[in-house]
Amino acid sequence: MVAVQKKKTKMPLQDPKQRANNFAEVALGYDKEDAINEAKRCLQCSNPACKDGCPVRVDIPEFIDLIAEGDFAAAAKKVKEKNSLPAVCGRVCPQEEQCEAECIVGNKNEPVAIGRLERFVADYIREQEEVEEVEQEKEQVAVVGAGPAGLTAAADLAKLGYQVTLFEAFHKAGGVLTYGIPEFRLPKEIVQDEVEKIEQLGVEIKYNQVIGQIKSLDELFAEGYQAVFVSTGAGLPRFLGIEGENLNGVYSANEFLTRVNLMKAYQFPKYKTPVYTGKKVAVVGAGNVAMDAARTALRLGAEESVIVYRRSREEMPARAEEIEHAQAEGVKFNLLNNPTKILGDDDGFVSGMECIKMELGEPDDSGRRRPIPIEGSEWILDVDQVIMAIGQSPNPILINDTPEIETTDWGTIKVDQETGMTTKEGVFAGGDIVTGAATVIQAMGAGKKVAQAIDDYIQKQNN
Amino acid sequence: MYQILEKEELAPKIKKFAIEAPQIAAKAEPGHFLIVRVDEFAERIPLTIADYDREQGSVTIIVQEVGFSSQQICELEAGDSFLDVVGPLGKPIETAGYERVICIAGGLGSAPLYPKVKSLAKEGVELITILGAQTEELLILEEDLAELSHKLYITTDDGSKGKEGFVTDQLDEILAEDDQFDLVIAIGPMIMMKFVAEVTKEYGIDTMVSLNSLMVDGTGMCGGCRVTVGGETKFSCVDGPAFDGHLVDFDEQLQRSKIYQDKEDKVKDHEFWGDGCRAKEEN
């Protein structure tokens, strides 16, 4: 009997010192041998708990078994039955909280590296995959927003035979996958490739279409769409509202990352969009977006990149892996500190940031210990650029244009929990626009669920 | 792709383009703007819709060569295309309910001002227009604005046409005689709008300005175009671009417009030397 491999098969990474200076992907992915080796760690449970942990319910043991047998193409096909963006999910899902959290192997040893295996098959099949087009003979459905929720819903509806049009405000599809998550975590080529596969299913993507400005939802219905899925995300950046926040050199993480990722400012001046790059950069916040911004700043040439967070390490919302990667690359952490003021020079550029030290009190509503400022502990952090990564709210353009759609106090859209239908007949919503900023895979799970509900709705209308 | 139907030179380095974009033309209102991108490498540039023709399905923009990107746009000819045109963006302005209005344009500001003047004229408003430029040859849309206005004044910095001086000198003169106006609309360089707002504040006349903040997406998702209005942070692209001129922090806007000044030279160098000249980039 062969001894069970206790740890996950290692995935090769780019050297931290080297990678902190380039935008190439950090994690290099398994080769065939690694994948088969890892696949053999799966116990092939008859009642797989991992599947319950996956928001789109990929048939995990089945696809892993196909990898173990060396049939990678069949494994990829198996994954794609449930997940339209496997190369993306394998890279950016927080598997430690989802599929891998439920893995039985994980009770005693490290869980099976489901994410890495999903990524392997998706990358393996990328070049040679042929998409089977389903004949689109059913009704027209409009999807607003080409992020993870919209792309998933569009793909599923196309597979069901609907004529799907996807309306996207930007000039590229992918939403946060394209403008938010950096190249070194998720190469844009891979995102665009998965988008193309969805188009090959028969989905038509219309770019530069800000629904709510160029067209209202009622106009979409008048054009013959039977249902609309709103998946416009949570893209409105929050600021702290402190003095000096409009100084030059203060960015929202959204702006900073959009310039770098979507507009390719890291290749300036070949690409013409500039990005302001300081020598000492503070990133306020400690979620994945903050890690992305801090790591991006280093790659743009910052000598110092510091995360400033009002709570302690334990409460940091970013994935453990992202925090480790950031640290290995040289990102510093200034925890239990909150900015109170941004200081500027005579020309209006950032010259420093006043912070106040914090201590943790009793747990608040979210269960995390509440940060309390320590009176009189203000001090000045020496920085020349500040990036605010303290969260995003839903963008109100479409909602403001559609008064029949009810929203919550947080600006998210109210939906029927079962069907995802909004308070406007025939209009469904899902993803961050409903939940507030969450994960890629949760948005995809919502897209999948609502696609099914839209199918049910249209069928019912027809009877 | 969005094809250029017509191109016209209005003044040295100022070009007017009619772009085929029927959906945008159908929805455009005075105050709206567009974001355009010439090609795969280009920036996203905000430009006001200077006019629109719903029947022809076209929107008009007016562009002045000031840096690399605007120069690149100005080199396009009829028949060429923009890769991306997004719009209509921003909030349209309300032109109903006014009786007497003064409209002021500085330099290229005539372009964004024009659709507002057109709309006000349609409402039957008594309209005075002040048009200012550095020199006579940079005055644009003079005839179009004259036709729609009850009275048109011209000022040039060098006195080559109209009154020598700034638009604010002319405004002062008009208001000193008669200050019974409901509204002043001022569009032009930030510094001009700032001084107009200072003049009208003395007379207590409501003043609307249209900000030309730097933008990336133009849909409210980045905050690059933020502006302090009455002590609150607003995003020009979704809350504006028109704001109450008496509440805008112009000094902050003037500073924010200079963030990327040093980058402009790098773009020009790159275009001249190309990718191949690494030595230059490293120096």
Reference B175, options B130, B239, B210; nearest CA is: B130
Chain B residues in contact with A263 (beta carbon < 8 A)? 43-44, 216
Q: Is the ipTM of this complex over 0.90?
A: yes
**Which pLDDT score is estimated for A4?**
73
Q: What are the structure tokens assigned to A30, written together? A: 């398994």
Q: What are the structure tokens assigned to A204, written together? A: 């038509």
User: Which residues 6+ apart lie within 8 Å of A308 measured at CB?
Assistant: A282, A283, A284, A285, A334, A337, A338, A339, A353, A355, A381
In angstroms, the separation between the Cα of residue A218 and the nearest Cα of chain B is 14
Q: Which residue has the tokens 């100005």?
A: B74
Confidence of residue A437 (pLDDT cuts 50, 70, 90): confident
| B223:A241 CB<8 A | no
pLDDT above 60: residue B202: yes
Residue B274 or A413, more confident: A413
Q: What is the mean pLDDT of residues B82-100?
A: 93
- Return d(Cα B231, Cα B274) in angstroms, integer: 45
Q: Which residue of B has its CA nearest to A244?
A: B252
Confidence of residue B280 (pLDDT cuts 50, 70, 90): very low
**Which pLDDT score is estimated for B273?**
59
Confidence of residue B274 (pLDDT cuts 50, 70, 90): low
Q: What is the mean pLDDT of residues B186-194?
A: 94
Residue B21 or A3, more confident: B21
Q: What is the pTM of this model?
A: 0.94
Q: What is the mean pLDDT of residues B233-261?
A: 94
| A239:B267 CB<8 A | no
Interface residue of B72, B222, B251, B260 to substitute, partner A, most A CBs within 10 Å: B222
pLDDT above 70 covers a percentage of chain B that reads 94
Q: What is the mean pLDDT of residues B171-191?
A: 94
| A258:B222 CB<8 A | yes
Q: What is the mean pLDDT of residues A365-378?
A: 90
What are the DSSP calls for A300-318, one per residue? TT-SEEEEE-SS-GGG--S
Q: Which residue of B has its CA nearest to A393?
A: B221
Q: Tens digits of per-residue pLDDT, A337-360?
A: 999 999 999 999 999 999 999 999
Under a CB-based contact definition with an 8 Å cutoff, are residues B83 and B252 in contact? no
Q: What is the mean pLDDT of residues A238-251?
A: 96
Please give the order of strands across the beta sheet that includes A140-144.
A204-206, A163-167, A140-144, A225-230, A427-429
pLDDT above 50: residue B278: no
Q: Tens digits of per-residue pLDDT, A377-416?
A: 999 999 999 999 999 999 889 999 999 999 999 899 999 9
* Residue A238, phi then psi, degrees to nearest 5: -95, 145
Chain B residues in contact with A271 (beta carbon < 8 A)? 41
Say which of A208, A255, A395 has its CB closest to residue B84.
A208
Torsion over CA: A95, A96, A102, A107 (sign) = positive
A262: DSSP letter: I
Q: What are the structure tokens assigned to A227, written together? A: 């249902």
Confidence of residue A293 (pLDDT cuts 50, 70, 90): very high
Confidence of residue B271 (pLDDT cuts 50, 70, 90): low
Confidence of residue B276 (pLDDT cuts 50, 70, 90): very low
**Which pLDDT score is estimated for A127?**
74
The mean predicted confidence, pLDDT, of chain A is 94
Q: Flag whether residue B54 sits within 8 Å of chain A, measured between CB atoms.
A: no
Question: What is the H or E stretch that residue B104 is in?
Answer: strand B100-106
- Return d(Cα B281, Cα B110) in angstroms, integer: 39
Say which of A215, A241, A252 has its CB closest to residue B223.
A252
| B87:A252 CB<8 A | no
- Helix pair angle (A320-329, A288-299), 10° resolution: 20
pLDDT above 90: residue A243: yes
Question: What is the H or E stretch that residue A97 is in?
Answer: none
Q: What are the structure tokens assigned to B73, written together? A: 């746009």
Q: Tens digits of per-residue pLDDT, B49-75?
A: 999 999 999 999 999 998 889 999 999
Number of CB pairs, chain A paired with chain B, less than 8 A apart: 112
Chain A residues in contact with B222 (beta carbon < 8 A)? 237, 252, 254-255, 258
pLDDT above 60: residue A418: yes
Q: Tens digits of per-residue pLDDT, A161-195?
A: 999 999 999 999 999 999 999 999 999 999 999 99
Q: Tens digits of per-residue pLDDT, A103-133?
A: 999 999 999 999 999 999 999 988 777 777 7
Chain A residues in contact with B223 (beta carbon < 8 A)? 237, 239, 252, 254-255
Say which of B27, B255, B270 has its CB closest to residue A348.
B255
Interface residue of A165, A259, A273, A432 to substitute, partner B, most B CBs within 10 Å: A273
| A237:B223 CB<8 A | yes
Amino acid (1-letter code) at residue A200: Q
Q: Tens digits of per-residue pLDDT, A40-73?
A: 999 999 999 999 999 989 999 999 999 999 999 9
pLDDT above 90: residue B210: yes
